[in-house]
Amino acid sequence: MEKQITREDALTRKGFKHACHIMLYGDTSAKLFGKIPIKHIVLMQMRFDGLLGFPGGLVNPSKETLEAGLSRELHEEVGVAVFVGVDNHMCSCLSSSCPNLITHFYIKKMTESELNELEKAAVATAADHGLEVLGMVRVPLYFLRNGGGLPYFLSHSFISNSRAQLLSALQRCRLLSQGEIEKAVSQAEQMRC
């Protein structure tokens, strides 16, 4: 487990780098194969290193606020300037994989059409498209036969603690029940062997 600290505590610590990432999500009434409710759109990205993660990046708090830095990273990585405020902050952690790094995580709800426009911009105008970012991906939140859907998605490899960030945000935003999250995690676990 990563150690959680407050946003304020994080900003008083000297000698740390700060990374800010965000889960952009929204509701949809679309149905897969015309019958399986998609329920929610949740965006992640395929990174240059082949790992899944959230859009965002390194922010230098002596030059810009965490939220302004995250907005700048979003402009680079998804091609549109999404406003991020302190209200969107969900948690800050001392990274266990990277000793001098604090990871800040944000969540922001958007409309389905805003998310569709953002996905288009991520290909059409984002400076990092095809370079640091290989593409935005939607997280499947449903369950199909034999682990299809969320369990298979969770069996991929994720950067840093972004997999745990995804699971806690799905719970926090009530996009899935605690029981559904546990089911997905245990089915994903069985796929690893």
Provide the binding-site residues for Mn ion, judged by CB under 5 A: 57-58, 73, 119
Min dist. Cβ of residue 129 to ligand GTP (A): 13
Minimum CB distance to Mn ion, residue 76 (Å): 5
Instruction: Closer to Mn ion by CB, 160 or 187: give it.
Output: 160
3-state secondary structure of 126: coil
Shortest distance (Å) from residue 54 CB to Mn ion: 8
Is the CB of 106 or the CB of 188 nearer to Mn ion? 106
CB of 20 to Mn ion, least distance (A): 9
**84 touches 57 (CB < 8 A):** no
Using the minimum distance from each CB to ligand GTP, give the nearer residue, 128 or 143: 128
Chain position whose Cβ is nearest to Mn ion: 57
Q: 131: exposed, middle or buried (C-beta count within 10 Å: 0-12, 13-18, 19+)?
A: exposed
Question: Phi, psi at residue 33, to the nearest 5°?
Answer: 55, 25
Smallest distance, Å, CB 61 to ligand GTP? 14
3-state class of 10 per DSSP? helix
Q: Helices (H) and strands (E) in the chain — how many of each?
A: 6, 10
User: Cα–Cα distance between 51 and 106 in angstroms, integer?
Assistant: 19
- For residues 114 and 146, give the distance between their C-alpha atoms in angstroms, rounded to a whole number: 33
Token representation of residue 155:
């069996």
Task: Choose among Mn ion, ligand GTP, none what residue 119 binds, the Cβ cut-off being 5 to 8 Å by kind.
Answer: Mn ion
Give contact residues for ligand GTP (rule: CB under 6 A): 19, 21, 53-54, 56-58, 73, 98, 103, 132, 159-162, 165
CA angle in degrees (0–180, nearest 5) for 125-129-135? 115
Residue nearest to ligand GTP (CB): 57
Nearer residue to Mn ion within complex by CB, 85 or 135: 135
d(CA 188, CA 82): 32
Q: Which does 149 bind (CB under 5 to 8 A by kind): Mn ion, ligand GTP, none?
A: none
